[in-house]
């Protein structure tokens, strides 16, 4: 068909179901995306509402999961038919989520389409996903995602160029209709940005002096990035990156960097593997699309909420933040550990709903430098996505300067600021109707709970979290049920917006303690009473039939 390129307007016979994109765009089963017109309808709906991009650049790339290549070919032909001037696409279709954000910003693109279902399993029977990021490099704000959603309900045709597939394996430039396609190295721009922020010399020296680390790419997108950054640029030993080849099906795994799913790494770091009596000093993992991180020391787990607080408290040790940070932000369910750091530093701390899109406005307005979520996401204004490898490099930079262990860094932090004991319990695959009923039951108790005691704790506030964006005054309601106790302890209930099967109930539990001896080290034990209270107040067992969570973090 080459040489005979024409734009075709396709009538979409199968009406799109008008799927509302969740916290991270549209995530569905691959089989659904493969249905005729499904992906096309979503992409056209995006193009129809994002404004005047004619002649401008679009960035396209994904985490390399099953259907990535096919989806990119469709997007390229549609972008050409819809009048984009140029598309920048990662080699082999690969761009981690933070790398895509980096490229959008660096190349001043109009926006980007990122193909990923993050940590959700991949393969023909698993998940695929797509989201639109705006010119600042961040996920589209709710105003835009709502417009996309509305458009998907009315769309009846899309434009696509009749053309052959584009070669994505070789770096270089080619024409597709009137549009230019440039295949770029997936790692270069991102690696350069990391070198401009962190003290690579100090980290190189740390590693050369025998500091042992291991990074688990979980067979997903960070493999190629981590090999270049840790092994080539920083001189870490070959093999430092484990599971470093990105596979279409993530080798059948679930690339979610937490204590349950990153078991291979946890075994190495807790010395449980055979012949591994002396674990490395430092271990880390990232998720399917490279935006999450888990940080481990020798036989030691750092909660993401503590990690955010510690990065903020130590930011001045990193060249990129040596002039100080403007402010911090955390999602509502994230522990208040970072609030205490902000207090001491005399900077603002913002509390936003779950999902990275809420941080973008704050960063664009210069109000916030670092931000994070309890769900293993931390980041800064260097891009507009959370960034797994960035967090790992931040920790390495701190360790290189302070020359102490991960555990010592955390212990010293708690000694100075007190400790926010924290855990999240996930109940996956719950009946969606039952989960919704449980939330309604909780809502019916908003008036009744305050003033009541549970154990020796008095309920102060019980409500649904709503957020008014301090920059554009937009309001987001229904962002999670909060039970706040007089002593600062909290229980939060939320339904996940990223799952693709049934409902996932998330219960977040937190208490604050300055006397570290009193509660001991183990968070589950320290939070035992609150965990029971959460089950009682929500009538968890009655609604979900569950007594034990699927995942504890």
Query: Packing angle between helix 528-538 and helix 432-443, nearest 10 degrees?
Result: 100
Nearer to Co ion, 40 or 287 (CB): 287
By CB under 6 A, is residue 291 in contact with ligand VG1? Answer: yes
> Could you give the 3-state DSSP secondary structure of residue 26?
strand
- Choosing among Co ion, ligand VG1, none, which partner's interface includes residue 142 (Cβ < 5 to 8 Å by kind)? none
Instruction: Spell out, one character per residue from 319 to 358, where the chain touches ligand VG1: x when CB under 6 A holds, - when not.
Output: ------------x----------------------xxx--
d(CA 438, CA 506): 12
Interaction of residue 291 with Co ion, rule CB under 5 A: yes
Told to check if 118 binds ligand VG1 by CB under 6 A, we report yes
Regarding 118 and contact with Co ion (CB under 5 A), the answer is: yes
Q: Does 139 bind ligand VG1 (CB under 6 A)?
A: no
- Is 506 a residue that touches ligand VG1 (CB under 6 A)? yes
Among 40, 231, 289, 373, binds Co ion (CB under 5 A): 289
Q: Is 498 in the site for ligand VG1 (CB under 6 A)?
A: yes
Region of 141 on the Ramachandran plot (φ > 0 left; ψ -120 to 50 alpha; else beta) = beta
Instruction: Write out the binding residues for ligand VG1, residues 366-405 only, by CB under 6 A.
Output: 373, 375, 377
Name which of ligand VG1, Co ion, none residue 136 binds, using a CB cut-off of 5 to 8 Å depending on partner kind: none
Q: Which of 118, 186, 305, 331 is catalytic?
A: 118
**For tokens 């603002």, what's the residue?**
348
How does DSSP assign 365-419, residue by residue? TTS-SEEEETTTEEEETTSSS--HHHHHHHHHHHHHHH---HHHHHHHHHHHH-E
Applying CB under 6 A, among 287, 306, 339, 387 the residue interacting with ligand VG1 is: 287
Interface with ligand VG1: number of residues (CB under 6 A): 18
Q: Which does 506 bind (CB under 5 to 8 A by kind): Co ion, ligand VG1, none?
A: ligand VG1
293-297 and 282-286: which strand pairing? antiparallel
Between the CA of residue 147 and those of 18, 19, 51, 438, what are the distances in Å?
A: 11, 12, 11, 30
**Which candidate, 537, 506, 536, 539, places its Cα nearest to that of 258?**
506
The beta strands (E) that lie in 223-317 are given as: 241-242, 282-286, 293-297, 300-302
Residue number with CB closer to ligand VG1 (243 or 496): 496
Q: How far apart are the C-alpha atoms of 9 and 6, rounded to whole Å? A: 10
Measured from the CB atom, is 101 or 511 closer to ligand VG1? 101
Q: Considering beta carbons, is residue 283 or 377 the nearer one to ligand VG1?
A: 377
b/e map 270-288, b = 16+ CB within 10 Å: beeeeeeeebbbbbbbbbb
510 binds, among Co ion, ligand VG1, none (CB under 5 to 8 A by kind): none
The strand ranges marked E within 135-208 are 157-162, 172-176, 179-184
> 269 with 214: CB under 8 angstroms?
yes
Please count the CA atoms within 13 angstroms of the CA of 428 that sit on its side-chain side. Answer: 9
Residue 71 three-state SS: helix
Is 466 assigned a catalytic role?
no
Q: Which of residues 217-256 bind ligand VG1 (CB under 6 A)?
A: none
Residue 119 interacts with ligand VG1 (CB under 6 A): yes or no: yes
281/291 with CB nearer Co ion: 291
Judged by the rule CB under 5 A, the positions of this chain that interact with Co ion are 118, 287, 289, 291-292
Q: What are the residue numbers of the active site?
A: 118
Judged by the rule CB under 6 A, the positions of this chain that interact with ligand VG1 are 23-24, 118-119, 287, 291-292, 331, 354-356, 373, 375, 377, 496-498, 506
């Amino acid at each position: 068909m080459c040489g005979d390129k024409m734009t075709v307007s396709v009538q979409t016979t199968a009406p799109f179901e008008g799927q509302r994109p969740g916290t991270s765009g549209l995530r569905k089963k691959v089989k659904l995306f493969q249905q005729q017109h499904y992906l096309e309808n979503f992409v056209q709906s995006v193009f129809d509402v994002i404004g005047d991009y004619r002649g401008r650049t679009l960035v396209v790339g994904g985490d390399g999961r099953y259907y990535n290549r096919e989806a990119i070919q469709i997007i390229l032909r549609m972008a050409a038919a819809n009048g984009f001037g140029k598309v920048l696409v990662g080699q082999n279709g690969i761009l981690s989520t933070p790398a895509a954000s980096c490229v959008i910003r660096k190349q001043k693109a109009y926006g980007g389409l990122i193909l990923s279902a993050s940590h959700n399993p991949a393969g023909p029977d698993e998940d695929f996903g797509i989201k639109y990021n705006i010119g600042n490099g961040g996920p589209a704000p709710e105003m835009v995602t709502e417009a996309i959603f509305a458009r998907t309900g009315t769309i009846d045709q899309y434009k696509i160029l009749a053309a052959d597939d584009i070669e994505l394996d070789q770096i270089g430039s080619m024409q597709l209709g009137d549009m230019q396609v440039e295949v770029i190295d997936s790692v270069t721009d991102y690696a350069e940005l990391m070198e401009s922020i962190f003290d690579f010399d100090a980290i190189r020296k740390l590693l050369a002096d025998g500091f042992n680390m291991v990074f688990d790419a979980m067979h997903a997108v960070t493999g190629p990035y981590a090999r270049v950054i840790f092994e080539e640029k920083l001189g870490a030993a070959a093999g430092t990156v484990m599971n470093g080849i990105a596979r279409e099906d993530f080798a059948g795994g679930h690339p979610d960097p937490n204590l349950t799913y990153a078991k291979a790494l946890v075994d190495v770091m807790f010395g449980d593997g055979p012949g591994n009596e002396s674990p490395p000093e430092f271990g880390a993992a990232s998720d399917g699309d490279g935006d999450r991180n888990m940080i481990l020391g020798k036989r030691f787990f750092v909660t993401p909420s503590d990690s955010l607080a510690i990065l903020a408290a130590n930011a001045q040790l990193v060249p990129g933040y040596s002039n100080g940070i403007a402010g911090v932000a955390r999602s509502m369910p994230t522990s208040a550990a970072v609030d205490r750091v902000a207090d001491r530093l005399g900077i603002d701390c913002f509390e936003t709903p779950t999902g990275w899109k809420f941080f973008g406005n704050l960063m664009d307005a210069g109000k916030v430098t670092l931000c994070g979520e309890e769900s293993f996401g931390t980041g800064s204004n260097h891009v507009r996505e959370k960034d797994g490898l960035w967090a790992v490099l931040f920790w390495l930079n701190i360790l290189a300067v302070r020359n102490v262990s991960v555990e010592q860094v955390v212990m010293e932090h708690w000694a100075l600021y007190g400790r926010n004991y924290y855990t999240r319990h996930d109940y996956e695959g719950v009946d969606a109707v039952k989960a919704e009923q449980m939330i309604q039951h909780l809502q019916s108790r908003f008036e009744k709970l305050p003033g009541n005691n549970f154990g020796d704790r008095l309920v102060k506030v019980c409500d649904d979290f709503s957020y008014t964006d301090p920059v554009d005054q937009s309001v987001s309601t229904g962002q999670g049920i909060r039970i706040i106790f007089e002593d600062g302890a909290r229980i939060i209930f939320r339904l996940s917006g990223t799952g693709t099967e049934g409902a996932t109930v998330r219960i977040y539990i937190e208490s604050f303690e300055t006397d570290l001896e009193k509660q001991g080290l183990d968070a589950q034990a320290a939070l035992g009473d609150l965990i029971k209270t959460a089950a009682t107040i929500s009538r968890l067992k009655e609604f979900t039939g569950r007594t034990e969570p699927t995942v504890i973090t």
